């Protein structure tokens, strides 16, 4: 390897190493702040979980949107790399969706005795989870890279169109047990700061995992035999 | 030669006519849908506890019957064409959106026929009195159109994959969660005699959803249809 | 007038390469005959030209005075007869043709369809369900399907399969008419049918 390429490689690993270290330190700070710094919310128990539940839900929706956008780009440009990105975003979204569902259920059980009660927000996250699972079920039932990419991409876009109905319309239309203190304005500044910091940290973490997954997917794509 | 927009409308109408003619002669989808609905209704009404139960129980029951009947029959319009090989014939002659709209109209008509047969039967067998009939009918129509639009879209996707019937339900259900929630709540409101302004939020949600689904289908269908 | 051009066309299914880097040009009035043993890719090549299958590499260009034909113009200007082509069994011959005419945007309704059926010798069976047809009659109906819109590009995959002597005569008429109208591609191993062609391509 030439000197310049070696230097470039070293620079890259230093940058990514610093990024990971920074995210690690940041999140440690967030966890400490969650338990030591921020106050209790509205007489509910175990509200520290908010700082992990909310970013997970946010990331699950964001990943969904990302998957849909990459799907649209694939349909326009027919570049399989874009399909790798779409599927990777969906995988990530699935992970965060599971985390959001579980943390929500834990919180619900601690405060109201029931882990699951089909309250509108829980319905929303459950539907999101089912959409992710349906997407992957569809992918595994399709044979041929372009076919799989195009058809699962179409479903991803449709799911994105339905998502606003789940996330915005339904919870507004019906009463919910879900705490509204985190939705309306006028949040305590301590809560807001830690929440924002946690969301930022989670997003940085999510982006890192996404890039790793896409890199893995791209390698797998280039390994596919090309007889022509 | 006729101008392109009237050709397109002629095309939709021709596909719809063809599906109706085929259906009359083979009763392929109609049988599945109606038999399922009547059987379910009979089984449910046989249980004495359910008859005369309040709108909170009967409203979801009605929509379960409609939804599952739709799942058992609305995929056939596309699946049959792919299996028989006539889908390729259509691809050679027809504008893709004309095929889509024709089949969408067919599925909507099929579900409408089902509603006309089953809903009065349901009301009689379950001994239900409808508080606000106008609202009840409007919710029924908008809900059914939403289900038909979603089912047609998913049917096109599923006809290209391997594991048809299971996949059809798995893909449709998450997309239909907003429809179910709004339709069930709306029907419940209409059964207990809510006023029209009270029921409007549900009607708005269902109408918006139906519109969004039809639009998404029109825009994306070609990508699914032309995939080899 | 119309020309059909194949540029650098290659097709592979997974690891199996069917053909590689085909280049050909067919002018108006000419017929290209494609030969090759079973499984050599004749049918696939025709399907690629018809737009039903995507090539792995390369492209097919069909042009007339107005330029390259896109998908929608191709639908109105291309006809194909093939063994795997399926028509609607539960409809009558006439209903099938009227349906396709409407989808293609052709005027003329049932009368025009009846005239097409006469051309292929199916006049008496116009009102019968295709499910009751013999394979020879189905083949004739496929010809009606392929020529009802007077296409400038006609693709025939095993043209005379299932046909009796009169059917073969009908095919000869169709072929000579097509040469006056545009371009013809025939996939076959039959020596008699090879005589239709001016250009030849052997696959496999």
- pLDDT value of residue B91: 94
Helix (H, G, I), strand (E, B) or coil at C19: strand
A78 occurs within a structural domain: yes
Residue A226 has pLDDT above 80, yes or no: no
Residue C197 has pLDDT above 90, yes or no: no
A228 occurs within a structural domain: no
pLDDT range class, residue A43, cuts 50, 70, 90: low
Q: Which residue matches tokens 């737009």?
A: C51
Residue B61 has pLDDT above 50, yes or no: yes
Backbone region of residue A46 per phi and psi (left: phi > 0; alpha: psi in -120 to 50; beta: other values)? left
Expressed as residue numbers, the domain containing A205 is 53-220
Please give the tally of structural domains in chain A: 1
- pLDDT value of residue A183: 45
Q: How many angstroms separate the CA atoms of B36 and B66, rounded?
A: 10
- The fraction of chain C above a pLDDT of 70, given in percent, is 100
Expressed as residue numbers, the domain containing B132 is 4-225
A47 occurs within a structural domain: no
Cβ-based neighbour number of residue C13 at 10 Å: 13
Parallel, antiparallel or unpaired: strands C57-64 and C199-202? unpaired
Residue C6 bridge partners (DSSP): C24, C60
A213 occurs within a structural domain: yes
Residue A227 has pLDDT above 70, yes or no: no
CB spacing of A228 vs C12 below 8 angstroms: yes
- The fraction of chain C above a pLDDT of 90, given in percent, is 70
Residues 62-101 of B with CB under 8 A from C: 84-86, 88-95, 98
> Which of these, B95, B90, B141, lies nearest to B116 by C-alpha position?
B141
Residue A115 has pLDDT above 70, yes or no: yes
Strand ranges inside chain A, DSSP E: none
**Environment class of B207 (CB within 10 Å of its CB; exposed 0-12, middle 13-18, buried 19+):** middle
Residue A152 has pLDDT above 90, yes or no: yes
Q: How many angstroms separate the CA atoms of B128 and B126, rounded?
A: 6
Q: pLDDT (tens digit, 9 = 90+) per residue, B117-147?
A: 999 999 988 888 888 999 999 999 999 999 9
- pLDDT value of residue C37: 87
Residue A181 has pLDDT above 50, yes or no: no
Distances (CA, A) of C108 to A58, B46, C149, C153: 59, 56, 11, 21
- The Cβ-side half-sphere exposure at C36, using a 13 Å CA radius, reads 20
- pLDDT value of residue B44: 83
Query: What CATH number did the domain enclosing C103 receive?
Result: 3.40.50.300
In chain C, residues with a C-beta closer than 8 Å to the C-beta of B25 are 90
In chain A, residues with a C-beta closer than 8 Å to the C-beta of B182 are 170, 173
Cβ-based neighbour number of residue A7 at 10 Å: 11
CB spacing of B26 vs C90 below 8 angstroms: yes
Expressed as residue numbers, the domain containing C49 is 3-202
Residues in chain C: 204
Q: How many angstroms separate the CA atoms of C68 and B116, rounded?
A: 50
A88 occurs within a structural domain: yes
pLDDT range class, residue A42, cuts 50, 70, 90: low
A180 occurs within a structural domain: yes
pTM: 0.90
A40 occurs within a structural domain: no
Residue C157 has pLDDT above 90, yes or no: yes
Residue B1 has pLDDT above 50, yes or no: no
- pLDDT value of residue C40: 84
Yes or no: say if C65 and C133 are a contact pair by the CB < 8 Å rule: no
CB spacing of C90 vs B95 below 8 angstroms: no
- pLDDT value of residue A172: 64
So what's the ipTM on this one?
A: 0.91
Q: pLDDT (tens digit, 9 = 90+) per residue, B163-207?
A: 788 899 999 999 999 999 999 999 999 998 888 888 898 999 999
Please give the tally of structural domains in chain C: 1
Q: What is the mean pLDDT of residues C143-147?
A: 95
In chain C, residues with a C-beta closer than 8 Å to the C-beta of B14 are 99, 102-103
pLDDT range class, residue A182, cuts 50, 70, 90: very low
Helix (H, G, I), strand (E, B) or coil at C20: strand
**Which site among B162, B181, B185 would you substitute to test the A interface, given the most A Cβ atoms closer than 10 Å to its Cβ?**
B181
> Which of these, A1, A140, A121, A132, lies nearest to A68 by C-alpha position?
A132
- pLDDT value of residue A185: 41
Q: What is the mean pLDDT of residues A73-93?
A: 94
């Amino acid at each position: 390897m030439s000197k310049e390429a070696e230097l470039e490689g070293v620079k890259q690993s230093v940058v990514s190493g610093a990024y990971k270290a920074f995210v690690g330190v940041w999140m440690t700070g967030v966890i400490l702040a969650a338990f030591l710094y921020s106050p209790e919310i509205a007489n509910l128990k175990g509200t520290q979980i908010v700082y992990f539940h909310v970013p997970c839900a946010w990331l699950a929706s964001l990943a969904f949107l990302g998957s849909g956008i990459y799907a649209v780009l694939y349909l326009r440009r027919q570049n399989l790399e874009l399909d790798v990105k779409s599927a990777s975003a969906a995988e990530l979204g699935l992970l965060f969706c599971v985390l959001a569902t579980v943390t929500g259920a834990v919180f619900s059980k601690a405060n109201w005795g029931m882990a699951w009660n089909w309250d509108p927000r829980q319905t929303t996250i459950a539907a999101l989870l089912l959409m992710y699972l349906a997407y992957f079920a569809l992918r595994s039932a399709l044979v041929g890279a372009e076919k799989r990419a195009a058809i699962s991409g179409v479903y991803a876009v449709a799911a994105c169109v339905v998502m606003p109905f789940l996330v915005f319309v339904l919870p507004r239309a019906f009463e919910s047990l879900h705490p509204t203190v985190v939705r309306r304005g006028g949040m305590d500044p301590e809560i807001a700061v830690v929440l924002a910091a946690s969301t930022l940290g989670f997003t940085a973490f999510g982006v890192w995992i996404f890039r790793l997954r896409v890199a893995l997917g791209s390698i797998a794509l280039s390994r596919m035999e090309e007889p022509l | 030669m006729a101008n392109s927009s009237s050709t397109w409308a002629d095309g939709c109408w021709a596909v719809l006519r063809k599906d109706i003619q085929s259906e009359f002669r083979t009763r392929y989808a109609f049988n599945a849908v109606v038999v399922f609905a009547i059987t379910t209704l009979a089984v449910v009404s046989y249980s004495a506890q359910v008859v005369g139960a309040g709108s909170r129980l009967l409203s979801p029951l009605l929509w379960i019957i409609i939804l599952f009947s739709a799942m058992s029959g609305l995929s056939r319009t596309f699946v049959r064409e792919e299996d028989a090989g006539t889908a390729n014939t259509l691809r050679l002659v027809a504008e893709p959106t004309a095929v889509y709209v024709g089949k969408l109209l067919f599925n909507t008509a099929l579900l409408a026929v089902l509603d006309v047969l089953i809903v009065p039967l349901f009301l009689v067998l379950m001994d239900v009195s409808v508080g606000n009939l106008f609202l009840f009918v409007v919710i029924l129509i908008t809900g059914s159109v939403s289900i038909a639009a979603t089912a047609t879209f998913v049917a096109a996707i599923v006809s290209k994959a391997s594991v048809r019937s299971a996949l059809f339900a798995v893909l449709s259900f998450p997309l239909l969660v907003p429809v179910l929630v709004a339709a069930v709540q709306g029907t419940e409101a209409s059964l207990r005699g809510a006023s029209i302004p009270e029921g409007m939020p549900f009607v708005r949600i269902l109408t918006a959803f139906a519109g969004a689904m039809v639009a998404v289908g029109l825009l994306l269908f070609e990508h699914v249809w032309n995939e080899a | 007038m119309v020309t059909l051009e194949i540029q650098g066309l290659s097709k592979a299914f997974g690891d199996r390469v069917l053909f590689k880097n085909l280049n050909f040009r067919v002018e108006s009035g000419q017929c290209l005959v494609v030969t090759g043993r079973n499984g050599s890719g004749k049918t696939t090549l025709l399907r690629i030209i018809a737009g039903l299958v995507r090539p792995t590499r390369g492209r097919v260009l069909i042009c007339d005075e107005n330029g390259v034909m896109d998908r929608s113009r191709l639908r109105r200007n291309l006809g194909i007869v093939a063994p795997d082509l399926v028509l609607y069994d539960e409809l009558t011959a006439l209903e099938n043709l009227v349906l396709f005419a409407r989808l293609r945007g052709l005027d003329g309704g049932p009368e025009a369809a009846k005239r097409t059926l006469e051309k292929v010798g199916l006049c008496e069976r116009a009102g019968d369900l295709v499910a009751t047809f013999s394979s020879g009659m189905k083949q004739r109906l496929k010809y009606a399907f392929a020529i009802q819109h007077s296409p400038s590009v006609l693709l025939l995959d095993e043209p005379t399969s299932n046909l009796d002597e009169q059917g073969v005569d009908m095919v000869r008429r169709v072929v000579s008419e097509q040469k006056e109208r545009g371009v013809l591609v025939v996939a076959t191993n039959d020596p008699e049918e090879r005589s239709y062609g001016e250009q030849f391509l052997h696959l496999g």
